[in-house]
Amino acid sequence: MTGRERVIEAPEVLVQGNVAVAEAAIAVGCRFFGGYPITPSSEIMVRMAELLRAGDGVFIQMEDELASICAVIGASWSGAKSMTATSGPGLSLMQEALGYAYFTETPLVLVDIQRAGPATGQATHVGQGDMMQFRYGSHGDVFPVALVPWSVQECYDLTIRAFNLSEKFRIPVFLAADEAVGHLRENVVLHRNFEVVDRVKKGAGDPFGSPLRDGVPVMPSFGDGGHLMVTGSTHDARGFRKVDDPEIHDALVTRLMRKTLDHVDEIVEIEEHMLDDAEVAFFAYGVSARSALAAVKRLRSKGVKAGLLRALTIWPFPEKQVTQLGAKVKAIVVPELNKGMIAGVARGFTGTPVHAFTQTNGKIIEPERLVKFVEELP
């Protein structure tokens, strides 16, 4: 890696999660950031401004979130790995363009530092209330990818993974982070020991079609002489609008679905903690999984056989893993900083009782509350 003289090189450093996101983006090759300030994500934008301007990238502060995500899509089609960062209110504004990015198969990374919503809510306090917006925020059928970091180290590692998945599958990828992780400072290694995946810019085939049921087409950039036709209307393999053809619409929507769903095993990452002999298990993600892990250890010290299944990928949903977990334990507890969004999803994949532990007070969950909750389970 060259030309990144501003990147912190120390083996272990103390940085904020938001800063780690920016460092990772630069390290994996992001060369465009368009954004609009919003608490609690703004540190990402500020750091990206420093890093991109010190190197060979482009930073631009746009007039609003609508413009930010659209600029990111335009930048991606000019060939740059591109990113924006926001929080819930901004994510709401970006939804139309996210559908466009999905439908035009535009790689990009959107970092959401979730705060307590709805509406303006509590701007400086944590929430995990955007989980369904990642999945269902767009109109029409979309099958997005959302990764959830639980630490500053994972803000770094999963940002890299988000770019790689985005480039590989030509799909917008969410980093579904939250205020607690984004503002946390921890020991972190900003390592360079990772694979970098780049979109295929040159090759056979049309830019919007594939003979394979889950195929990812080649993606030339503007200016390459491909005379591209990029459109958010239903289009054929070359890009011609086909707004009245039922077969083409169905085939396109289906192929885009399969790009994600046929690769669930590759995309979905989970982590198991003390599940071997567990009788009760937490299924958790993001910062709430840290509360759960602390609770597991305390429950174990009290003789309760508790464990944790942690999702690093929340969309596509780890369906198989939740089903397997349900077959193993007598009860599943899903702790989350919303009113039970993911607990409700988990219930669809197991007959084992799934108990929602919900907290919407702008704070992360104290482990003692989870310990007590498990001890009082029926």
Where do contacts with other proteins occur on this chain (CB under 8 A)?
12, 14, 31-32, 34, 39, 58, 60, 62-64, 66-68, 70-80, 82, 96-97, 100, 122-125, 180, 183-187, 221-233, 239-241, 287, 290-291, 293-294, 297, 363-364, 366-368
Please identify, using beta-carbon distances, which residue of 314 and 364 lies nearer to other proteins: 364
- DSSP state for residue 332 in the 8-state scheme: E
Provide, rounded to whole angstroms, the least separation between the CB of residue 70 and other proteins.
4
Query: Could you give the CA distance from residue 224 to residue 57 in angstroms, rounded to a whole number?
Result: 19
Provide, rounded to whole angstroms, the least separation between the CB of residue 312 and other proteins.
16
Provide, rounded to whole angstroms, the least separation between the CB of residue 186 and other proteins.
5
Provide, rounded to whole angstroms, the least separation between the CB of residue 126 and other proteins.
9
Please identify, using beta-carbon distances, which residue of 72 and 332 lies nearer to other proteins: 72
- One DSSP character per residue, 8-57 reads ---SSEEEEHHHHHHHHHHHHTEEEEEE---TTTHHHHHHHHHHHHHTT-
Please identify, using beta-carbon distances, which residue of 16 and 350 lies nearer to other proteins: 16
Record the tokens describing residue 348, joined without a space. 């669809």
Please identify, using beta-carbon distances, which residue of 151 and 352 lies nearer to other proteins: 151
Kindly report the backbone phi and psi dihedral angles of residue 243, in degrees, each rounded to the nearest multiple of 5, phi listed first.
Answer: -90, 5
Kindly report the backbone phi and psi dihedral angles of residue 183, in degrees, each rounded to the nearest multiple of 5, phi listed first.
Answer: -100, -5
Please identify, using beta-carbon distances, which residue of 143 and 222 lies nearer to other proteins: 222
Residue appearing with tokens 């607690």: 180
Please identify, using beta-carbon distances, which residue of 87 and 350 lies nearer to other proteins: 87
Record the tokens describing residue 99, joined without a space. 């559908």
Provide, rounded to whole angstroms, the least separation between the CB of residue 254 and other proteins.
22
Contact 134, 314 (CB under 8 A): yes
Provide, rounded to whole angstroms, the least separation between the CB of residue 53 and other proteins.
12
Record the tokens describing residue 39, joined without a space. 């608490």
